[in-house]
Amino acid sequence: MGIKLSENSDVIRVISRLDDCIQCVDSEYEKYLETLDESLLQLSGESEPVRFVMKTELNYKAQRQIKKDQVSVSTEGGMGFNMGFTMLDVRLSLIDIENSTSPKLSFSKGKDGLADEDLVARLDSYGIAQDLYTARQHAIKPAISKKN
């Protein structure tokens, strides 16, 4: 018996469904988020799409912060699940934005050296943050597998 750790890339590059450079239906985009296979997106070729660069592995402190943010406690003392942690996951893993010509999608860091909070809030309001989170989760999922 043994544990086999697959060799994942240190970073992934994710294209948003909002990018004008791609043409695809929702089901193709969902498959893209699972595989990051850009051939599913039917790139226009006129210009390069914006790519969000994210780390696949986070350090202990970052992972602990995300797990802590996932749980909420109600005023009655019960525990709940907080979906806002996805923004934190994106903030902790986003390290660059490539090919962006929009100042609103220009990568910047906050004082703590992580992706700027306002940038991540903007990505969330555009609906991009959830796709980035989903793509990262699919990319890290196969890291551990049972050895046959």
pLDDT digit string (tens) for 33-56? 999 999 999 888 778 999 999 998
Cβ-contact 65, 87 below 8 angstroms: no
pTM of the model: 0.80
Residue 28's pLDDT is 95
Per 3-state DSSP, what percentage of the chain is helix, strand, and coil (rounded to 5)? 45, 20, 35
Which alpha helices (H) appear in 39-127, and where do they start and end?
Answer: 60-70, 85-93, 117-126
Indicate the average pLDDT of the chain. Answer: 83
- CA-to-CA distance for 80 and 97, rounded, in angstroms? 33
* Low-confidence winner among 5-19, 57-71, 93-107, 108-122 (lowest mean pLDDT): 57-71
CB atoms within 10 A of CB 41: 19
Cβ-contact 80, 71 below 8 angstroms: yes
